[in-house]
């Protein structure tokens, strides 16, 4: 069975803990994660605006590392579709265009209202909140999902992050249902 293809909006790649979950799920072939160079520019630009002390070169290195670590992630060739699309914010058309060109099943974003169902469903694409997306994956594949979270936590060594603290981070970032679902598996994380 082919893994679910999800185009990740910039607001999914920006917070490192959320990005880490999606990238680990992709590395473990639980999902197919996709994005574009434009989406990279968005999340890096937003991070630099919000945290000006950050180093652009280090962020671009992170971008390059995640591109190399994630199989078939970069969508290209979507530019010609942008002008034909109609969304409430014209600046979001590139995201829908990339989802179409990348043959994605869904766009995962915190900004659901920016992608109304009437404008997106005609292309066979769903728009999903990351909490719903992740909690659905957890419910359908609890073992592999918990393995992915365990791998992420194993990389958090300076300082180590206990399972309950990690779940609190996810909850603070808006992944409340996912964090609650993972609570019952905390001994496995």
What DSSP string describes 67-119? HHHSTT-B--S-HHHHTT---SSGGGHHHHHHHHHTT-SEEE-S-GGGS-HHH
Does one domain contain both 153 and 100? no
How do residues 66-91 score in pLDDT, each as one tens digit?
999 999 999 999 999 999 999 999 99
| Tokens coding 104 | 């994605």
- Please indicate, yes or no, whether residues 75 and 145 belong to a single structural domain of this protein: no
- Select from 111, 130, 149 the last residue of a domain: 130
Distance, in Å, from the CA atom of 140 to the CA atom of 122, rounded to the nearest integer, reads: 26
pTM reported for the whole predicted model:
0.95
Q: Specify the DSSP element, H or E, that contains 8.
A: strand 4-8
Range of the domain at 146: 134-184
Has residue 69 been placed in a domain?
yes
Domain assignment present for residue 189? The answer is no
Q: What is the pLDDT of residues 115-169, one digit of tens each?
A: 999 999 999 999 999 999 999 999 999 999 999 999 999 999 989 999 999 999 9
């Amino acid at each position: 069975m082919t893994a679910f293809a999800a185009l990740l909006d910039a607001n999914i790649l920006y917070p490192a803990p959320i990005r880490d979950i999606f990238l680990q799920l992709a590395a473990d072939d639980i999902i197919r994660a996709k994005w574009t160079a434009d989406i990279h520019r968005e999340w890096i630009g937003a991070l630099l605006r919000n945290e000006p002390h950050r180093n652009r070169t280090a962020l671009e290195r992170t971008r390059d590392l995640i591109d190399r670590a994630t199989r078939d992630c970069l969508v290209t060739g979507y530019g010609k579709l942008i002008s034909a699309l109609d969304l409430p914010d014209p600046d979001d058309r590139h995201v829908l265009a990339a989802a179409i060109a990348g043959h994605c099943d869904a766009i995962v974003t915190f900004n659901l209202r920016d992608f109304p169902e009437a404008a997106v469903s005609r292309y066979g694409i769903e728009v999903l909140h990351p909490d719903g997306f992740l909690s659905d994956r957890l419910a359908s594949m609890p073992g592999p999902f918990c393995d992915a979270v365990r791998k992420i936590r194993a990389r958090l060594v300076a300082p180590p992050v206990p399972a309950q603290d990690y779940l609190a981070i996810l909850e603070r970032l808006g992944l409340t249902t996912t964090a609650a679902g993972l609570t019952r598996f905390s001994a496995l994380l």
